[in-house]
């Protein structure tokens, strides 16, 4: 399943987070709000980077998705 951070109400799942917070801390917070597994994995992928609010988290998740998609596209290119 492809993760789309824009389709997820991050505020709902990050309710109760104390900022600044790391990806690990946000993962822990989100778990108490019953997020979809794909969001938990994406938050875990943010590691120990610190975020000052949900907007920064959303931007980081979008970058994460973009990097993954670029890597997939590179793997599909035929050698010349």
The pLDDT of residue 74 is: 80
Average pLDDT, the chain: 86
pLDDT, tens only, 5-31: 555 688 889 999 999 999 999 999 999
Q: Tell whether the model's pLDDT for residue 33 goes beyond 90.
A: yes
Which residues face 21 on adjacent strands? 51
Query: Is 56's pLDDT higher than 60?
Result: yes
pLDDT at 71: 82
Residue entry with tokens 């019953």: 34
pLDDT over 70 at 2, yes or no: no
């Amino acid at each position: 399943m492809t993760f789309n951070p824009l389709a997820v109400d991050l505020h709902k799942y990050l309710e109760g987070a104390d900022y600044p917070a790391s990806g690990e801390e946000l993962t822990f917070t989100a778990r108490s709000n019953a997020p979809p597994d794909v969001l938990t994995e994406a938050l875990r992928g943010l590691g120990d980077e610190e975020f000052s609010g949900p907007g920064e988290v959303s931007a980081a998740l979008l970058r994460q998705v973009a990097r993954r998609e670029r890597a997939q596209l590179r793997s599909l290119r035929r050698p010349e």
